[in-house]
Structure 1
Amino acid sequence: MSSRRRVLPALLATVMAAGMTVSLAPQAVAEDRHGGGHDKARTVGYYTQWSGYGRNFLVKDLVANGTAPRLTHLNYAFGFLDESGKCVSADTWADYQRPFTAEQSVDGTADVAGQPLSGNLNQLKQLKVKHPKLRINISLGGWTGSKYFSNAALTPESRASHVASCLDMWLKGNFPDAAPGAAAGVFDGIDLDWEWPSSEAAPGNVVRPEDKQNFTALLVEYRKQLGKLTRQTGKRYDLTAFLPADPRQVDRGFEVAKVFELLTFGTIQGYDFHGAWDPLTNQQSSLRTPSADPTAPQFSSQVAIDHYLKSGAPKSKVVMGVPFYSRGWTGVRNENNGLFQPATGPAPATYEAGYEDYRILKAQLPNFTVHRDTKAGHAWLFDGTTFWTWDDPVEMKRKGRYVAERRLGGAMIWSLDGDTADGELIKALTSGLSR
């Protein structure tokens, strides 16, 4: 397959119909290296805005546990949209106001009052100095931040306004109550996490039937304005998106072939296939559908990825998601080692019932028995009444090998704060990717 990026005739028709003149050449040349034909599988990790609160997982910890040199891309989650569709900070304190001590800082120096930039963004800036090949993107939306994406994408005017506001804030670095351009250069691109076009996710999200076509049009507008910014700065910028695993949501909300022509790459949800919202225990991130799974429709990473490939996504741009956390049930019937059994509700956990970080659950491992389905590619823990899905180093390496053997574009992690102090999950994942 040629690594030369070609624009689909249908996409050109979309651009022409919108009255746009778009030069994609600078981005296209860059994406010959970072879209198709890449030398190394991408390792994309989400660092969450709230990691530094209850979890006390700081940007510095990405260095301390060996994660940073193993990443090719880091997505900072999340930036939000206001009702008009313009970009806003979801947490100004975490993003650019919080001062860090010398012990908390990536470069070992304490923040001082009055400096142009503080918070996570300044720490990410320091991280880039230490790891200059790492690309850092701002992720917009998420489960709780996608309410107004449909408004942003609705018209040519709203799309232009949305993109301009996001580029001004996140790429040009202009934040309210901060020095102009204080955060310039922190981010290398935009990751869109619209959950989901034409399908409601969080209750209250604005959803329209025309979201499907408008999502494509929004990407076109991003490419237009990113291309202009490239001509001004000489830098290339990523445009990526987090995409759903459910084929029904894919068909309802995405023109897959057009979308992937416009994206640097797309990350495919490889987790949350099942959770405590289901009455039966099940896998949440299996590579393949377990043969005895009694539910319908059946979900797995392979089901999701195959659907994207059949819909026109190139393998080289398909990045498979993996979880650094577990989903759990309690009050589980003690049959079949707890798998596919009725439960009374979500398992008690540290931050959210039915959801536990790997590093925390690992400390409880002596209380459980580990079970594996090596054919389907998933594992779980069971103690006779409580059931947890289990993505440990064995399963992470298996997932990395799956990506490498299928020659996919890489793996994506949600989220980096779930790993251990010595980074055992990312080490296993990248070991598999390199085989």
Structure 2
Amino acid sequence: MRKRIASAFATAALALAGAAVVAPPAAEAGPSGGGHSQDKVMAYFADWDVYARNYHVKDIETSGSAAKLTHLNYAFGNVTGGGCAVGDPWADHDMPYDATMSVSGQADSAEPGALHGSFNQILQLKKLNPKLKVLWSFGGWTWSAGFTEAAKNPAAFAESCYNLVNDPRWAGVFDGIDVDWEYPNACGNTCDESGPKAFTALVKALRAKFGHQLVTAAITADGSKNGKIDATDYAGASRYLDWYNVMTYDYFVAGGQPTGPTAPHSPLRSYAGIPTAGFYADAAIQKLRHQGVPSSKMLLGLGFYGRGWDGVTQKQPGGTATGPAPGTYEAGVEDYKVLKTTCPANGKIAGTAYAKCGSQWWSYDTPETASAKAGYAKSQGLGGVFAWELSGDTANAELLRAIAGRC
């Protein structure tokens, strides 16, 4: 299996700007399909979790996460040739599960053509949790380059995606589609120059094809002046979407700034000495709102992982480093479930936590800060919260329980 970047998200240094905290408007236009309750708790499950991480759909149930979730996003489907494609056939629908690993406690059928893999496990999960809605997310950091071609013929893209999401082979698994384009008319892993209206045309075509099924999108949280939010008409596109997953994390990472300054990767608010003005969650939320995106159509993002540096001597943010801290799967990245014991949080700033242990410096959310962020989302009238991604949480879903308790 080829190596893939196991994270949908990354950031690059952008122009500086700030944003003030303001109260949400007294009234806003409702979603296109009617009103939305402000209690969504969504999390991503990544197809690669079933390999080295040994995290399976069954773990969503046994951890207690399934009972707390309203929505689950399955990541990722590929975007290639102007359409949608299966991301990992083995993990998605071919890998057989025995009775011990299965959600239902029964081994997968050996009948020719029987559905296997995580898709079949999701079907079983939905039987136990009938209110749970599942979306198939396409793109991500690695596969967003395909959206540039897709944007040339939105109708053909929508047709392809609809046929794949609703393929009879896995009928009943998905309740809609999530588009994770990083980033329209801006640069991520690659650069797109489709123009500020391309994203709107794409999601408009998806809405026309998917009808009453869910259509959502994961979007940038770059609140800086002339940054990624300003590159696309997110307000116009929001008319065709049920909601946005605003990726309010990965603002400051060792991969981009290996020598520092150390900074929390998911600050809720600004703080004195923040390396880039506008690189914090509230700046993005206020910018999107001021541009016309309804508060109820925004979900606040949380990371179930930390970002870290090594060679650090200063406890407070702003210190110098020698490079990314060692991580289990990727340098500079580690799951919350690991960090909570190997490098416990011993400081807080800007609504998130950080830890200095030995020469390492990490920032991540704890149950306390995650709960507070969910409280912020509620106070701002947002549609709810979401997390990237479930395998980073503890076996008893500490972070997700903390979030759900405030929604």
Same fold (TM over 0.5): yes
The answer for unaligned runs of 5 or more in structure 1 is 7-27, 174-180, 228-235
* Equivalent in the alignment of 1:170: 165
Distance 1:380 1:182 in 2: 45
* Equivalent in the alignment of 1:225: 209
Q: 2:386 aligns with which of 407, 412, 418?
A: 412
Is it true that 1:208 corresponds to 2:193 in the alignment? yes
Q: 1:54 aligns with which of 52, 55, 58?
A: 52
> What amino acid sits opposite 1:427 in the alignment?
R
> What amino acid sits opposite 1:344 in the alignment?
T
Distance 1:270 1:170 in 2: 27
* Equivalent in the alignment of 1:288: 269
Which residues of 2 match residues 356-371 of structure 1 at below 5 A?
356-365=334-343, 370-371=346-347
Q: State which structure, 1 or 2, has the greater radius of gyration over its C-alpha atoms.
A: 1
Which residues of 2 match residues 261-300 of structure 1 at below 5 A?
261-276=239-254, 277-278=256-257, 279-293=260-274, 295-300=275-280
Distance 1:164 1:296 in 2: 40
* Equivalent in the alignment of 2:108: 111
1:342-396 deviations in Å (ceiling 9; x for gaps): 111000010000000101112314xx561113xx212101024110002111111
- The 1:405/1:216 distance shift into structure 2, 3 A limit, reads same
Conserved in 2, the CA contact under 8 Å of 1:48 and 1:415? yes
1:218-258 deviations in Å (ceiling 9; x for gaps): 1111111122xxxxxxxx31110001011310111x21221
Conserved in 2, the CA contact under 8 Å of 1:338 and 1:384? no
Which residues of 2 match residues 395-434 of structure 1 at below 5 A?
395-433=369-407
Distance 2:82 2:346 in 1: 46
Task: Please identify which structure carries the higher helix content.
Answer: 1
Distance 1:302 1:270 in 2: 9
* Equivalent in the alignment of 1:15: none
1:174-226 deviations in Å (ceiling 9; x for gaps): xxxxxxx1111210011000000111211xx362242x211111111111112
Distance 2:194 2:154 in 1: 17
Cα offset, 1:417, TM superposition: 0.8
- The 1:285/1:2 distance shift into structure 2, 3 A limit, reads closer
* Equivalent in the alignment of 1:251: 230
Cα offset, 1:407, TM superposition: 1.7
- The 1:389/1:397 distance shift into structure 2, 3 A limit, reads same
SS at match of 2:346: strand
Q: 1:313 aligns with which of 289, 293, 304?
A: 293
SS at match of 1:320: strand
Distance 1:131 1:3 in 2: 32
> What amino acid sits opposite 1:134 in the alignment?
L
Distance 1:3 1:353 in 2: 43
Cα offset, 1:3, TM superposition: 7.7
Cα offset, 1:33, TM superposition: 3.9
Distance 2:334 2:157 in 1: 35
Q: 1:185 aligns with which of 153, 169, 172?
A: 172
Conserved in 2, the CA contact under 8 Å of 1:76 and 1:136? yes
> What amino acid sits opposite 1:290 in the alignment?
Y
* Equivalent in the alignment of 1:95: 92
- The 1:298/1:313 distance shift into structure 2, 3 A limit, reads closer
SS at match of 1:144: helix
> What amino acid sits opposite 1:395 in the alignment?
T
Q: 1:303 aligns with which of 278, 283, 287?
A: 283
> What amino acid sits opposite 1:239 in the alignment?
V
Q: 2:306 aligns with which of 323, 326, 343?
A: 326
SS at match of 1:245: coil
> What amino acid sits opposite 1:68 in the alignment?
A
- The 1:280/1:4 distance shift into structure 2, 3 A limit, reads closer
The answer for unaligned runs of 5 or more in structure 2 is 1-25
TM-score calculated relative to the size of structure 1 = 0.83
Conserved in 1, the CA contact under 8 Å of 2:64 and 2:396? yes
Conserved in 2, the CA contact under 8 Å of 1:149 and 1:206? no
Conserved in 2, the CA contact under 8 Å of 1:148 and 1:206? no
Conserved in 1, the CA contact under 8 Å of 2:159 and 2:209? yes
SS at match of 2:179: strand
SS at match of 2:161: helix
Conserved in 2, the CA contact under 8 Å of 1:151 and 1:206? no
SS at match of 1:363: helix
Distance 1:2 1:397 in 2: 26
Cα offset, 1:291, TM superposition: 2.1
Conserved in 1, the CA contact under 8 Å of 2:367 and 2:399? yes
Moved more, 160-169 or 413-422: 160-169
SS at match of 1:133: coil
1:50-96 deviations in Å (ceiling 9; x for gaps): 111111110000110100011111000000022x2111111100010
Cα offset, 1:296, TM superposition: 2.7
- The 1:372/1:220 distance shift into structure 2, 3 A limit, reads same
* Equivalent in the alignment of 2:15: none
Distance 1:369 1:396 in 2: 13
Distance 1:224 1:95 in 2: 27
* Equivalent in the alignment of 1:16: none
1:281-308 deviations in Å (ceiling 9; x for gaps): 1011111012232x23341110111110
- The 1:346/1:4 distance shift into structure 2, 3 A limit, reads closer
- The 1:331/1:168 distance shift into structure 2, 3 A limit, reads same
